[in-house]
C-alpha cells in the first residue's frame, strides 16, 4: 500500500504536469465538457488522478502526456502537430492479411491533435483497442483501465443502415481541424452520404495526414448518414508525381487507408486527387484500380472526383472513362466555371456549361449509372475595378445566406436569367460594380433536372454549410427521397 504522503505528491505532480483548468471560454470552445481523468492500473487499487480532459462534439480529448504516463507510445508529429503511433503486425491487429504485403511488420499512423493553453490533446474516442486503454464515465469523471486486446480497432455499436432509396445524395464536409458536432445540428432531409475532408498525402513516401473522428462517424450513423472519408493528394503535383514513382510509398498509403477505414468505421472512400501533371494520367488510373481491389473485400464504397472535360492540364490528368471502370461512383465537379481568380466575372455553374460537362463526361464512357453530378452550394461576388482602359476583376466566395443578405442590404433587385438558370443581381459600392450570379434552391433545381434527363446516379454538393436548409427539401424531392 502506498504511503499517503508519497501518493499525495505523485497526484500533485501529475496534476501540475498535465492538467488544464477549464474555468471559462478562454480555455475551451463553447459546449466543451471538462472532466477529471483517472488511471486504474489494476482492479481494487485506488486510481491515480492524471489531470483534466474534455469532451468536444462527442469525442474525448485527453492530454498527450497523461496518455504517455498510462503507457501509450505517442510520438510528436511534424512541427509538433499531431501524433504518431507505431503499430506492430498490422495485418493481425486490423484483421486484414493484405496489410502484411502492403506494410510489412510495422507501420506508423498519424493522428490529429488539439492544442489548448500549450497542452496537446489526443482524441481517444474509438481508440481504445489501438491504445490498449479502456475508459468509463464515473461520477462526472473518466477512469482509464488497461486492456489486452490484440485487435487494433473497436467493432462494437455498428449501425446497420438501410439501402439507399432513390438517387444518391451526398455533400462534402470541409474539415481543417475540428470536426463539427453533428448531434447538435438539424437533420438533413434526404441526405445519404457525408464526405468529410479527412485524409491527405503528406509526403512522397506515403505519409497520410488524418483529421478523422470516430465520434463523428457514430453520430452520422445515428442520423442515417453514411460516411465516405475523402482522401486527397494535397493538390501538390510534384509530390504526387514522386509518390507515383515509389511503389513502397503507394503500398504504405493504401495500407493506411485500409487501417483508417477500419479504425473509424467508414462506409466508403472518396478519392480527390487534383492538380496533377498530365503525365500521371495513366498512373492515377492504375492507383485507383489497385485501391478498388483492396477496398472491395472490406465492403467499402469507392468514388473518385473528376474535373469536367476541358482543354486544361487538370482536366487532362483525369481519364474519366477509365477511372469509371474501377469505382462505384464518378463525382463530376461541375462548378468553378468562373474560378476565384478568373479574369472575368460570371457564374460558377451556368446551365449550358453544366449540361455540356455532363454530356462530355458521358461521351467519354462514364456510365450514367455511375455518374454523380456535383453542384455548388456557393457563388462569388465579383468586384470590377476600371484599370488601364480595362476592367480588373476580384472574386469573393459567398454562401447562399450571405448572398441573400447582401442583396437585401444593398436593395439590389434579383433578376431571373433563363439561359444560365439562376438569379442575378448587381449594385455599386465604393465606385466599383459588384455582380453576383446566385446559387439557391431554384438554380440547384435546374441543374438537378439533368440527373433525371440523363439517368445519372445522383448528386453531390460542395460544400456542407454553404447552402440554405430549404435547398435540401428541393434535393430530397428531386432525388426521390
Which residues are the active-site residues? 274
Grid coordinates belonging to 435: 455582380
**CA nearest 261: which of 120, 389, 465, 95?**
95
Please answer whether residues 283 and 320 qualify as being in contact, where contact means their C-beta atoms are separated by less than 8 angstroms: no
**CA nearest 306: which of 332, 324, 287, 269?**
332
The total number of residues shown for the chain amounts to: 481
**CA nearest 142: which of 218, 68, 50, 219?**
50
Please answer whether residues 42 and 145 qualify as being in contact, where contact means their C-beta atoms are separated by less than 8 angstroms: no
**CA nearest 273: which of 248, 312, 309, 243?**
243
Residues 6+ apart with CB under 8 A from 421: 350, 351, 443, 446, 447
Q: Is 146 exposed, middle or buried (0-12, 13-18, 19+ CB in 10 A)?
A: middle
- The radius of gyration computed from the CA coordinates of the chain, to the nearest angstrom, equals 25
According to the 3-state scheme, what is the secondary structure of 357-426? HHHHHHHCCCCCCCEEEEEECEEEEEEEEEECCEEEEEEEEEEHHHHHHHHHHHCCCCEEECCCCEEEEE
Integer Cα distance of 49 and 171 in angstroms: 42
Integer Cα distance of 19 and 116 in angstroms: 11
Please answer whether residues 232 and 274 qualify as being in contact, where contact means their C-beta atoms are separated by less than 8 angstroms: yes
Residues 6+ apart with CB under 8 A from 471: 377, 400, 440, 441, 444, 461
**Residue given cell 487532362 in the structure block:** 316
Grid coordinates belonging to 329: 461512383
Integer Cα distance of 261 and 226 in angstroms: 13
Amino acid at each position: 500500500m502506498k504511503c499517503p504522503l508519497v501518493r499525495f505528491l505523485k497526484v500533485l505532480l501529475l496534476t501540475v504536469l498535465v492538467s488544464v483548468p477549464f474555468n471559462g471560454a478562454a480555455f475551451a470552445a463553447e459546449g466543451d465538457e471538462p472532466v477529471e481523468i483517472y488511471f486504474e492500473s489494476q482492479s481494487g487499487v485506488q486510481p491515480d488522478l492524471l489531470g483534466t480532459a474534455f469532451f468536444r462534439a462527442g469525442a474525448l480529448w485527453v492530454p498527450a502526456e497523461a496518455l504517455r504516463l498510462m503507457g501509450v507510445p505517442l510520438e510528436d508529429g511534424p512541427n509538433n502537430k499531431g501524433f504518431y503511433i507505431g503499430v506492430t503486425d498490422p495485418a493481425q491487429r486490423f484483421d486484414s492479411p493484405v496489410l502484411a504485403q502492403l506494410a510489412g511488420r510495422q507501420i506508423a499512423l498519424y493522428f490529429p491533435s488539439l492544442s489548448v493553453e500549450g497542452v496537446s490533446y489526443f482524441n481517444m474516442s474509438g481508440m481504445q483497442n489501438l491504445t490498449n486503454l479502456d475508459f468509463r464515465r464515473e461520477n462526472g469523471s473518466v477512469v482509464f483501465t488497461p486492456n489486452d486486446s490484440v485487435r487494433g480497432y473497436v467493432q462494437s455499436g455498428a449501425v446497420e443502415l438501410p439501402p439507399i432509396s432513390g438517387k444518391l445524395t451526398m455533400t462534402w464536409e470541409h474539415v481543417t481541424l475540428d470536426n463539427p458536432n453533428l448531434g447538435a445540428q438539424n437533420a438533413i432531409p434526404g441526405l445519404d452520404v457525408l464526405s468529410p475532408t479527412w485524409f491527405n498525402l503528406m509526403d512522397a513516401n506515403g505519409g497520410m495526414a488524418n483529421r478523422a473522428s470516430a465520434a463523428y462517424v457514430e453520430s452520422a450513423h445515428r442520423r442515417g448518414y453514411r460516411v465516405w472519408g475523402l482522401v486527397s493528394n494535397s493538390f501538390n503535383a510534384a509530390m504526387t508525381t514522386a509518390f507515383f514513382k515509389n511503389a513502397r510509398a503507394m503500398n504504405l498509403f493504401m495500407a493506411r487507408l485500409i487501417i483508417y477505414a477500419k479504425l473509424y468505421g467508414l462506409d466508403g472512400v472518396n478519392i480527390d486527387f487534383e492538380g496533377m501533371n498530365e503525365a500521371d494520367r495513366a498512373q492515377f488510373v492504375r492507383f485507383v484500380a489497385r485501391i478498388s481491389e483492396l477496398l472491395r473485400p472490406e465492403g467499402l464504397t469507392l468514388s473518385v472526383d473528376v474535373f469536367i472535360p476541358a482543354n486544361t492540364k487538370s482536366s487532362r490528368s483525369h481519364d474519366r472513362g477509365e477511372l469509371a471502370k474501377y469505382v462505384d461512383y464518378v463525382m463530376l465537379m461541375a462548378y468553378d466555371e468562373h474560378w476565384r481568380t478568373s479574369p472575368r466575372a460570371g457564374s460558377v455553374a451556368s446551365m449550358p456549361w453544366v449540361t455540356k460537362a455532363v454530356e462530355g463526361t458521358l461521351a467519354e464512357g462514364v456510365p450514367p449509372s455511375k455518374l454523380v453530378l456535383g453542384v455548388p452550394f456557393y457563388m462569388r461576388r465579383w468586384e470590377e475595378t476600371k484599370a488601364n482602359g480595362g476592367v480588373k476583376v476580384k472574386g469573393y466566395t459567398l454562401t447562399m445566406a450571405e448572398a441573400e443578405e447582401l442583396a437585401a442590404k444593398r436593395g439590389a433587385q434579383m433578376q431571373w436569367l433563363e439561359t444560365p438558370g439562376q438569379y442575378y443581381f448587381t449594385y455599386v459600392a465604393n465606385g466599383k460594380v459588384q455582380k453576383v450570379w446566385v446559387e439557391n434552391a431554384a438554380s440547384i433545381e435546374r441543374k438537378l433536372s439533368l440527373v433525371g434527363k440523363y439517368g445519372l446516379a445522383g448528386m453531390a454538393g460542395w460544400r456542407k454549410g454553404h447552402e440554405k436548409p430549404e435547398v435540401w427539401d428541393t434535393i430530397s424531392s428531386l432525388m426521390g427521397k
